[in-house]
Structure 1
Amino acid sequence: MATLTDFHSLAERVRNWGRWGADDELGTLNFITPAKIAAAAGLVRHGKVFPLGIDFGSSGPQGAFQFRQNPLHVMTVDGGDAKTLAEYGPKWLRNSVAGELSSFFADNPFRFNDDMIIMPLQAATQWDALSHVYYADQLYNGFPAESVTSQGAFHCGIDKVDGKGITSRGVLLDLVRYRGADTYLAPGAPITADELDECAARQGITIESGDIVLVRTGWWDRYLEARDGAEPYSGLDWTCALWLHEHEVAAVAADNLMVEDPASGVDGTFLPLHMLCLRDMGLMLGEYWDFSALAADCAADGVYEFQLVAPPLRVIGAVGSPLNPIAIK
C-alpha cells in the first residue's frame, strides 16, 4: 500500500499546471491539434459507426449511491392530453397552462407530444469535467475550489471544453481479451501500466500524443447480466497516471463506473487516480461507456484505432456531462 507521500510525489511528476498558460482550462485536450483531428478523420475507411453510449433510463446503473439516481423521464404533453383538451379545454381551462395547450388542439389537425428528463448530469455515459474532483482546495491549474459554487463552476466547467469538440484518434485497449477473462475483470487485480503497454503491443497499436484511450474491463457486459450497479471490478491502478502523462493521452474512458480500480492503493485517500488526472494533469475521465460492439469488430479485423467523436453538452458551469460518443471505422 502506497502512502500519501508517494501520492504527492507522483502528483508533482504528472502535474501540468502552467504548461499551456496560467488561464488554461482545457488541460490535456490541448494535445488534440488540428493535424491530430485531420489524421483521425483519415481513419474512417468503411463507414462503420459504433455508438458507445448506454441507455439513459430507469434501468440504468445508478442508484447504488444515494446521491446519484437514474434518469426520470416524464411526458409533459401526450396523445391523451390532446384528445381531452381539444374536447374540454376551451370550456373550463381558460387562463391556465392546460387552456393554452387546448388552443393548439382546437379546430385543427395539429397534434404534438412533449417530454422532459430529470437526472444527474453523470447518470449514465459521461465525461467528468476538470472541476469534478479536487484536493487541497485547488482545481486544475491552481484555480480555487471555492470558484465552484451553488451557481456552478466558474473555472474548469464542462462548457469550457465544448469549443474543442473532443474528437480525435480513439484507441481501444481490450484488457478483457488481453487477460483472457470470460466476461469482465473481476476485482482484486488492478490494471497496471505494463499491462497497458503489453495490451497495445499485442493489438499492434501505438499510443500517440493526443489519443483518447478507451479501456475495456467488461464491467458493462457484466452489468447487463447482473444488473448490480455496485458490482466490484478491476480498473486502472492509480500509478497509471504516469503512463497517461508520458504518452500525452488527451482523455481516457472506460466501460465501468470509475475508470480506476475501486481499491485505492494509497493509504488514507479515495480515488487517487481521479485526483491525479482531473486536478493535477487536467485529463478528463469518461465513465459508463459501452465497448461491446466496437471490441468485437476490432477483434475481428485487428484494427483498434478509429475516429472518436465525443462532445459533451454545453451545460454552463456543470462539472460533468452526459453524451453518446461515436467511434467510426
Structure 2
Amino acid sequence: MKQSEINALPSYKKLLERNDAPPGSAWGLFGEADQIGTLNLLSAEARVAAAAEVHDGVAFSLDLRSDAISPSLAPTRKPLTHHIFQRNEFHRDEWLDGLFTQYGSQIDGLRHIGHPDYGFYNGHDPLLFTPGTELLGMQNFAAAPIAGRGVLIDIARYMENQGTPIDHAGGQAIPIEIVEAARKSQGAGIQPGDIVLLRFGWLDYYRRVASDEVKANLVEKQLHPGLLQSHDTVAWLWDNHISLIAADNFALECWPARPDSPFFTTDERDHHTCGAHSGIMHRSIIPLLGMPIGELWDMDRLAEACANDGRYSFLLTVAPLPIVGGVGSPSNAIAIR
C-alpha cells in the first residue's frame, strides 16, 4: 500500500461501527481476495525507512533453539524428532518427524484462528483449508515478504524500574496503558507498517528463574502473563497501523482470557460453554483485523543492546516457511541494528 492509502484507513472506532462487514473487522479494506492482512502495511516507504535504522550492523536472531521449550507449553503440540541418515561415509541427510510449526518461536497465520460468530479473515471458507490448498496459507506471508522497521517495547524493564515487576507465575494481565507508558519512557515512536515487539521478560523468567517444578506447573495450569483483553488494546494495534505484533510470551495476551474479556461470545457468557480459546483477543486480532501474531520470540539480547544505547528501532526480517496452506510457521526473525 502507499502511505496515502494507509493514512486513509478508518480508525478502530469506525471499524466497530461497520454494518457492511463484521464490526471491528478490516475485511475488504485490503481487497476482497486479500491473503496477507496487515502485512499490506509494509509499504516501500516503510522498507526504505527500515534500512536507515541500521547503524552498526550488529544482528540478533530472535529464534529459540528447537530444544529450548521443554515440556511443551501447549497440550496439542509435541517436540520434534530429528533423524539423520547417510548414503555413504562422507554424506549426511536428515528428516524431521512431528514438526509442530507453532511449538517454539512462531508466527500465527490467518488460518490459525477464526471468529466464533463471523469466521475466518475476509470471510474465507475454512472448508477449503486443507493441506496443499493456497487460501490464507503461510506461503503468502513468505512471498510478501516480511521485512521492515522493528520497534521493541520493553515492558518488563519498564515495570521493574517502576518497582512493579510482572507477576509471571500469576499470569498477570497488562493493560495497554502500561505498554504505552513503557514506549514513551523509551522515546520510541511507532510508524505505519512497523513490526512491534513486546518484551514481557517471560523467556528470561522461564530460562533463569523457573524451576522444573514451576515449568511443570505452567503446563498443568496454563497460566501466562500478557496483554489484557480489551478493545483499547485492539484499537492501539490497529490505529498505530502495526503490520505484525510479536511478543516473548506464550500467547501475546494473558492466558486464559480474563472473565471480563469483551471477546466472549454471547453463548459462552450465557451458557458458560467455555473452552481454552474462549474470550481470547486472538479472535479479534487475527480473523477480524488480519494481523499476524508472533509468539515466544527471543528478545533478551536485543533488549539489552537497546537499553544500553537507547535505540529501540531496527531493521527486522521475518522468513516464515513457505508451506502451501500452512497454518503457522517458525518465525526465523532477525533484527539488525
Instruction: Decide: shared fold, TM above 0.5.
Output: yes
Distance in structure 2 (CA, Å) of the matches to 1:252 and 1:264: 18
- Is 1:293 aligned to 2:301, yes or no? yes
Q: Could you tell me the TM-score, scaled by structure 2's length?
A: 0.80
Letter in 1 for 2:192: S
Segments of structure 2 that go 5 or more residues without pairing to the other structure are 1-14, 269-273
Contact 2:148 2:317 in 1 (8 A): yes
Which one of the candidate residues 10, 14, 29 is aligned to 1:19?
A: 29
Contact 1:62 1:124 in 2 (8 A): no
- Is 1:73 aligned to 2:82, yes or no? yes
- Is 1:178 aligned to 2:158, yes or no? yes
CA deviation string 1:291-313 (max 9, x = no partner):
11011111110111111111211
Letter in 1 for 2:142: D
Segments of structure 1 that go 5 or more residues without pairing to the other structure are 1-7, 78-100, 106-110
Letter in 2 for 1:194: E
- Is 1:232 aligned to 2:223, yes or no? yes
Distance in structure 1 (CA, Å) of the matches to 2:126 and 2:159: 40
* Aligned pairs for 1:98-177 within 5 A: 101=87, 104=88, 111-118=90-97, 119-135=99-115, 136=117, 138-149=119-130, 151=131, 154-177=134-157
Distance in structure 1 (CA, Å) of the matches to 2:52 and 2:286: 30
Q: CA deviation at 1:76?
A: 2.0
Q: CA deviation at 1:192?
A: 1.4
Contact 1:183 1:222 in 2 (8 A): no
Letter in 2 for 1:325: A
Which one of the candidate residues 247, 252, 257 is aligned to 2:240?
A: 247
- Is 1:46 aligned to 2:23, yes or no? no
CA deviation string 1:216-264 (max 9, x = no partner):
1111111113252637332011221111011111010111111111131
Contact 1:191 1:236 in 2 (8 A): yes
CA 1:14–1:261: 2 relative to 1, 3 Å: same
Q: Which has the larger radius of gyration?
A: 1
* Aligned pairs for 1:182-221 within 5 A: 185-186=167-168, 187-221=170-204
Q: CA deviation at 1:280?
A: 0.2
Contact 2:16 2:25 in 1 (8 A): no
Contact 1:212 1:252 in 2 (8 A): yes
CA 1:152–1:169: 2 relative to 1, 3 Å: same
Q: Which residue of 2 aligns with 1:261?
A: 254
Q: CA deviation at 1:133?
A: 0.3
Q: Which residue of 2 aligns with 1:81?
A: none
Which one of the candidate residues 310, 315, 328 is aligned to 2:318?
A: 310
Distance in structure 1 (CA, Å) of the matches to 2:153 and 2:42: 19
Distance in structure 1 (CA, Å) of the matches to 2:71 and 2:109: 19
Contact 2:110 2:287 in 1 (8 A): yes
Deviates more, 1:249-258 or 1:222-231: 222-231
CA 1:76–1:176: 2 relative to 1, 3 Å: same
Distance in structure 2 (CA, Å) of the matches to 1:271 and 1:70: 28
Distance in structure 2 (CA, Å) of the matches to 1:146 and 1:294: 41
Q: CA deviation at 1:178?
A: 1.2
Q: Which residue of 2 aligns with 1:283?
A: 291
SS of the residue aligned with 1:249? coil
Contact 1:185 1:218 in 2 (8 A): no
CA deviation string 1:147-186 (max 9, x = no partner):
213x255421111111211111111111101111787542
Q: What percent identity do the matched residue pairs reach?
A: 30
Contact 1:184 1:222 in 2 (8 A): no
Distance in structure 2 (CA, Å) of the matches to 1:112 and 1:286: 36
Distance in structure 1 (CA, Å) of the matches to 2:24 and 2:238: 6
Q: CA deviation at 1:73?
A: 1.4
Q: CA deviation at 1:129?
A: 0.4
Distance in structure 2 (CA, Å) of the matches to 1:193 and 1:49: 29
